Amino acid sequence: MRSQHSGFTLIELVIALLVGSILTGIALSQYGNAQSRFAVRGARNTFVSLHARARATAIERGTTVVLFIDSSADSAAVRITGTGTIVEAIHFRDDFNVDLQSSPATIRLCMTPRGYADDSCNSFSSAVKVGFFFNANSTTVEILPLGQLRY
C-alpha cells in the first residue's frame, strides 16, 4: 500500500515561484511607466496652475506680473514687476523629477492687470511650446502671445 502525503513537489514549487516572479516583473515595469506618466501630467497641471496664479496675481494687485520660465534650470517663477518679489517658484526637476524644455530656453510672459499678456513686454511674439519630459513620457503646453494656453 502507498501512503498518501500532502504537499507540493519541488518541481511544482519551482514553477509557482517562476510564475510569481514573472508576474511581479510585469507589474513593476507597468508601475514605473505609470509613475512617469503621472509625473509628466502633474508637472503640466502645476505649470497651468502657475500660469493662472500669475494672471490672478496681476489682476488682484493691479500691476504687471511676469511668469518667467527657465528651461536650463527646469524652473518657472511668478514675479511682481518693479519689486522683483517672487510669488511662487517651481523647480520641476526637484519637485517632479521632470525635465522642462522650451525654445527659447528662457521665456518671459507678462500678465497685465486686465488679465491678458502684454506682447510688448513678452520675450516672444508668436506661440511658444513648453515641454515636460520623463523617461518615454512627455506632454507640451503652448503659450500664445496674449497669454492663453493650449494643451
Q: Which residues contact 96 (CB under 8 A, 6 or more apart)?
A: 39, 40, 42, 43, 46, 132, 134
* 139 within 8 A of 38, measured Cβ to Cβ: no
* DSSP, res 3: P
What pLDDT sits at residue 59? 96
What pLDDT sits at residue 3? 62
What pLDDT sits at residue 1? 54
With a pLDDT cut of 90, the percent of the chain lying above it is 76
Does 4 score more than 80 pLDDT?
no
Does 2 score more than 70 pLDDT?
no
Q: Which domains does the chain have, with CATH numbers?
A: 10-150 (3.55.40.10)
Q: What is the pLDDT of residues 6-35, one digit of tens each?
A: 777 889 889 999 999 999 888 877 776 788
On average, the pLDDT of the chain sits at 92
Q: What is the pLDDT of residues 63-106, one digit of tens each?
A: 999 999 999 999 999 999 988 899 999 999 999 999 999 989 99
Q: What is the mean pLDDT of residues 141-148?
A: 95
What pLDDT sits at residue 30? 74
**Highest-confidence range of 3-7, 25-29, 122-126, by mean pLDDT?**
122-126
d(CA 18, CA 13): 9
What pTM value is reported for the model? 0.81
d(CA 100, CA 70): 8
